[in-house]
């Protein structure tokens, strides 16, 4: 097993090549993952109309909340404390971590299923279908994070390729049914196939029986990351529900349509997010004085990329937009500028967030996320009340820029504290 000292003595050129390689696999993996999500979203938008797309979007943001519960409790502590070569300690941690993700999916899946059956109408079937599929969806995501924590992004990429291949026949069946619930089931069933393949790839069986032990071991980070993650995705969910109540479900579809237009760039951003915390943890181990610079380059690059992508969308001919989104294009296109600025603000903040995670500064990152989430909900709903979907998009853009400033202020303070009294929150062997 490579020791910390050996990694520190590695030539700078080989270290940079290794970093580029790991980030490249992160981008490739997210590209594979986004294809499946993007394909389902486009089909619903084109074939079932803006209202049905709004229903799909409500189920989607609910899944995002549950996913972030799983990440906060299961995989975020794993990437902070067990990023390194896949030795015995990593294997044991992955078994407990993936078991925790599976347990979260089972418990919250029952809740979603019961809620869907109780709601009925247009929305209920989509939530019931989501509940059935949550265990497989969360386990598949846990394998991705486990592989990136070990620096084996190629396995995560292959796992998402399996998901995409399995999605093709599932989509064919769902297309014959022609409902939102059918596509949720198709999407989740194909993810479950990939989750099973993850067990084969790793040779590790998720240990649900040890989920309680994992939660106890990681409680100093896990519960803070849980609140932090849920405040992020919960804010998105509250905004979607609020916009639907204030303006209408079609406005939810318009916002989601604009976010789909940002899809290729968001895939890049999310792909980098898979490796940013493990990489920041490696920088902290090997060259702590370079952490702030690493985070600045990371966040600044994402912000600039978002603005460039938004500018390209503004030049997109209307007929191409209609080909992609159908009738949703006319509602989504006025939101492009605001959505682009919002994503740029979020991208800048993720650089600082990665640094705080690597430092194990859970209290600071929680404080930042709670502030950002309050701004997000307030801006999104206040803007919706003032100017509908367009106002909501501008309110969120202002909120993300404000939140990013707080993230960076907290990172600066955390780096100074670490320099005075180093805190080791990551594994060194």
Predicted local confidence at residue 427, as pLDDT: 45
* Dihedrals phi, psi of 396, to nearest 5 degrees: -70, -40
For the cut 70, the answer to whether the pLDDT of residue 6 exceeds it is: no
For the cut 60, the answer to whether the pLDDT of residue 366 exceeds it is: yes
pLDDT (average), residues 28-56 = 70
User: Cβ distance 82 to 285 under 8 Å?
Assistant: no
For the cut 50, the answer to whether the pLDDT of residue 236 exceeds it is: yes
Map tokens 């990023």 to a residue. Answer: 83
Query: Which of 147-151, 306-310, 318-322, 384-388 is predicted with the least confidence, judged by mean pLDDT?
Result: 318-322
Q: Helix 180-202 crosses helix 12-70 at what angle (to 10 degrees)?
A: 130
Give pTM, 2 decimals: 0.67
3-class state of residue 216 by DSSP: helix
User: Cβ distance 406 to 356 under 8 Å?
Assistant: no
Query: Which tokens is 235 given?
Result: 């804010």
User: Cβ distance 109 to 134 under 8 Å?
Assistant: yes
For the cut 90, the answer to whether the pLDDT of residue 127 exceeds it is: yes
Single out the residue of 108, 133, 132, 112 nearest to residue 123, CA to CA. 112
Single out the residue of 340, 343, 338 nearest to residue 393, CA to CA. 338
Whole-angstrom distance, CA of residue 78 vs CA of residue 72: 10
Predicted local confidence at residue 413, as pLDDT: 92
Whole-angstrom distance, CA of residue 179 vs CA of residue 122: 10
Whole-angstrom distance, CA of residue 385 vs CA of residue 345: 23
Dmax (CA) of the chain: 63
Whole-angstrom distance, CA of residue 327 vs CA of residue 148: 39
Residue pLDDT, tens place only, 311-329: 988 888 888 877 777 777 8
Whole-angstrom distance, CA of residue 322 vs CA of residue 333: 10
Query: Which of 100-114, 217-231, 327-341, 383-397 is predicted with the least confidence, judged by mean pLDDT?
Result: 217-231
Percent of the chain with pLDDT over 70: 84
For the cut 60, the answer to whether the pLDDT of residue 227 exceeds it is: yes
Query: Which tokens is 120 given?
Result: 């009925």
Helix, strand, coil % in the chain, rounded to nearest 5: 90, 0, 10
Looking at per-residue pLDDT, the higher value among 289 and 256 belongs to: 289
pLDDT (average), residues 153-174 = 88
Q: Residues 6 or more apart from 189 whose CB is under 8 A from it? A: 133, 136, 166, 170
Residue pLDDT, tens place only, 241-268: 888 888 887 788 788 788 878 876 676 6
For the cut 50, the answer to whether the pLDDT of residue 359 exceeds it is: yes
Q: Residues 6 or more apart from 402 whose CB is under 8 A from it? A: 345, 372, 375
Whole-angstrom distance, CA of residue 130 vs CA of residue 124: 10
> pLDDT category, 113, cuts 50, 70, 90?
very high
Whole-angstrom distance, CA of residue 41 vs CA of residue 180: 10
Single out the residue of 370, 198, 358 nearest to residue 279, CA to CA. 358
- 11-15 long-range contacts (CB < 8 A, ≥24 apart) are 15/286
Looking at per-residue pLDDT, the higher value among 64 and 41 belongs to: 64
Map tokens 């029952």 to a residue. Answer: 110
């Amino acid at each position: 097993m490579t020791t910390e000292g050996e990694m520190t003595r590695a030539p700078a050129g080989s270290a940079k090549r290794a970093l580029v390689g790991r980030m490249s696999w992160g981008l490739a993996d997210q590209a594979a993952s986004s294809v499946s999500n993007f394909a389902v979203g486009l089909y619903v938008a084109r074939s079932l109309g803006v209202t049905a797309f709004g229903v799909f979007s409500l189920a989607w943001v609910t899944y995002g909340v549950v996913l972030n519960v799983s990440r906060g409790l299961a995989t975020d502590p794993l990437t902070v404390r067990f990023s390194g070569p896949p030795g015995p300690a990593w294997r044991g941690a992955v078994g407990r971590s993936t078991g925790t993700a599976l347990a979260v999916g089972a418990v919250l899946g029952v809740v979603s299923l019961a809620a869907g059956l109780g709601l009925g109408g247009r929305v209920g079937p989509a939530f019931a279908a989501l509940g059935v599929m949550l265990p497989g969806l969360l386990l598949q995501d846990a394998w991705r994070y486990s592989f990136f924590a070990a620096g084996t992004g190629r396995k995560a990429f292959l796992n998402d390729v399996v998901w995409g291949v399995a999605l093709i026949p599932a989509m064919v069946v769902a297309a014959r049914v022609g409902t939102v619930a059918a596509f949720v089931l198709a999407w989740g069933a194909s993810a479950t196939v990939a989750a099973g393949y993850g067990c084969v790839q790793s040779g590790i069986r998720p240990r649900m029986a040890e989920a309680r032990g994992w939660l106890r071991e990681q409680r100093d980070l896990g519960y803070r990351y849980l609140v932090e993650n849920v405040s992020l995705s919960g804010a998105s969910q509250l905004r979607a529900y609020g916009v639907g109540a204030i303006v209408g479900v079609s406005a939810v579809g318009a916002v989601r349509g604009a976010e789909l237009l940002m899809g290729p760039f968001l895939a890049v951003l999310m792909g980098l997010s898979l490796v940013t915390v493990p990489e920041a943890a490696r920088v902290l181990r090997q060259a702590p004085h370079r952490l702030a610079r690493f985070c600045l380059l990371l966040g600044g690059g994402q912000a600039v990329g978002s603005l460039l992508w938004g500018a390209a969308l503004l030049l997109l001919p209307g007929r191409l937009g209609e080909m992609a989104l159908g009738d949703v294009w006319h509602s989504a296109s006025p939101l492009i500028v605001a959505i682009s600025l919002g994503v740029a603000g979020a991208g800048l903040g993720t650089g600082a967030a990665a640094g705080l995670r690597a430092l194990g500064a859970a209290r600071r990152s929680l404080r930042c996320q709670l502030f950002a989430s309050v701004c997000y909900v307030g801006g999104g709903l206040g803007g919706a009340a003032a100017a509908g979907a367009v106002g909501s998009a501008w309110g969120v853009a202002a909120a993300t820029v404000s939140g990013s400033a707080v993230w960076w202020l907290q990172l600066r303070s955390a780096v100074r504290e670490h320099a005075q009294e180093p805190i080791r929150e990551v594994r060194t062997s």
